[in-house]
């Protein structure tokens, strides 16, 4: 049986990347972070602290700041909570090689959590308001993310 951060760790070589190895926490806080990740293609990683890890999505066009703009959000592996503070250079040849910068961070309130739907209220510097993530039908990884109000 795989453990919560196995996939995250299997993809990385911690002797080469400055990313944190991290560990699963028994308690979850209420932090969110968006990291601008200039990798092979530029994207923004949206992460919510849930179940002692950071649930993560890669948003190719960026998290919308205004209501009614729908953006594809591709689910990626859970990251450790420590990752919320990570900024830096992932070296060439390593998974996700490129520059990571924190684009926004803050707190969130979880309004709804279902298998295919998550509703949160974000309180960040750039992002605030109610956001919804909905998984596409018959799809494992692809979600839509939008601001509701
Ligand atoms: Mn990324």
Task: Give residue 2's pLDDT.
Answer: 75
Beta strands at 31-38 and 71-79: parallel, antiparallel or unpaired:
unpaired
- Give distance in angstroms: CA of 95 to centre of ligand 1: 9
Task: Give residue 4's pLDDT.
Answer: 85
- pLDDT digits 0-9 by tens, 73-108: 999 999 999 999 999 999 999 999 999 999 999 999
- Give distance in angstroms: CA of 37 to centre of ligand 1: 5
- Give distance in angstroms: CA of 124 to centre of ligand 1: 20
The low-confidence residues of the chain, meaning pLDDT below 50, are none
- Give distance in angstroms: CA of 44 to centre of ligand 1: 7
- Give distance in angstroms: CA of 97 to centre of ligand 1: 9
- Give distance in angstroms: CA of 94 to centre of ligand 1: 12
> What's the number of CA atoms in the CB half-sphere (13 Å) around residue 94?
18
Asked whether the beta carbons of 141 and 67 are under 8 A apart, the reply is no
Task: Give residue 49's pLDDT.
Answer: 97
Task: Give residue 46's pLDDT.
Answer: 98
- Give distance in angstroms: CA of 148 to centre of ligand 1: 25
- Give distance in angstroms: CA of 101 to centre of ligand 1: 10
H or E segment and range at residue 6:
helix 6-10
- Give distance in angstroms: CA of 96 to centre of ligand 1: 6
> In whole angstroms, what is the distance from residue 116 CA to residue 62 CA?
21
Three-point CA angle 145, 43, 37, nearest 5°: 130
Task: Give residue 30's pLDDT.
Answer: 96
**CB within 8 Å of 99: residues ≥ 6 apart:** 37, 38, 88, 89, 90
- Give distance in angstroms: CA of 75 to centre of ligand 1: 11
Task: Give residue 1's pLDDT.
Answer: 64
**CB within 8 Å of 17: residues ≥ 6 apart:** 90, 91, 94, 95
């Amino acid at each position: 049986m795989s453990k919560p951060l196995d996939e995250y760790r299997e993809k990385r070589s911690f002797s080469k990347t400055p990313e944190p190895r991290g560990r699963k926490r028994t308690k979850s806080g209420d932090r969110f972070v968006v990291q601008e990740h200039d990798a092979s293609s530029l994207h923004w990683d949206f992460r919510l602290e849930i179940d002692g890890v950071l649930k993560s999505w890669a948003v190719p066009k960026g998290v919308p700041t205004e209501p009614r703009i729908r953006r594809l959000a591709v689910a990626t592996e859970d990251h450790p909570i420590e990752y919320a503070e990570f900024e830096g250079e992932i070296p060439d040849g390593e998974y996700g090689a490129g520059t990571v910068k924190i684009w926004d961070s803050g707190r969130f309130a979880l309004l709804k959590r279902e298998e295919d739907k998550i509703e949160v209220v974000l309180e960040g510097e750039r992002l605030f308001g109610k956001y919804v993530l909905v998984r596409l039908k018959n799809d494992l990884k692809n979600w839509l993310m939008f601001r509701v109000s």
